[in-house]
Amino acid sequence: MRRSTIIGMLAGLFTLSAALPTTTSSTSAIATPIPTQTLTAEILLGSALRPIPVPGGARLIEPITGGTVNGVINGTISGGFASPILTSNGTIHQVSIYVYGLTSTNQSFFVRETGVGPKTGQVTRLEIEAGGHGPGDEVDLYDTFILARVEPNKAETAVSVQGYAVPQPV
Domain assignment present for residue 29? The answer is no
Domain assignment present for residue 30? The answer is no
pLDDT in tens, 40-49: 999 999 999 9
Domain assignment present for residue 162? The answer is yes
Residue 118 has pLDDT above 70, yes or no: yes
Residue 31 has pLDDT above 80, yes or no: no
Domain that holds residue 55: 37-166
pLDDT in tens, 95-110: 889 999 999 989 999 9
pLDDT in tens, 129-161: 887 655 555 566 767 889 999 898 999 899 999
Domain assignment present for residue 125? The answer is yes
Q: 109 with 102: CB under 8 angstroms?
A: yes
Number of domains, the chain: 1
Residue 16 has pLDDT above 80, yes or no: no
Domain assignment present for residue 139? The answer is yes
Instruction: Give the other-Cβ count within 10 Å of 70's Cβ.
Output: 12
Domain assignment present for residue 3? The answer is no
User: Helix, strand or coil for residue 47?
Assistant: coil
pTM of the model: 0.74
Q: The domain spanning residue 80 has which CATH number?
A: 2.40.160.20
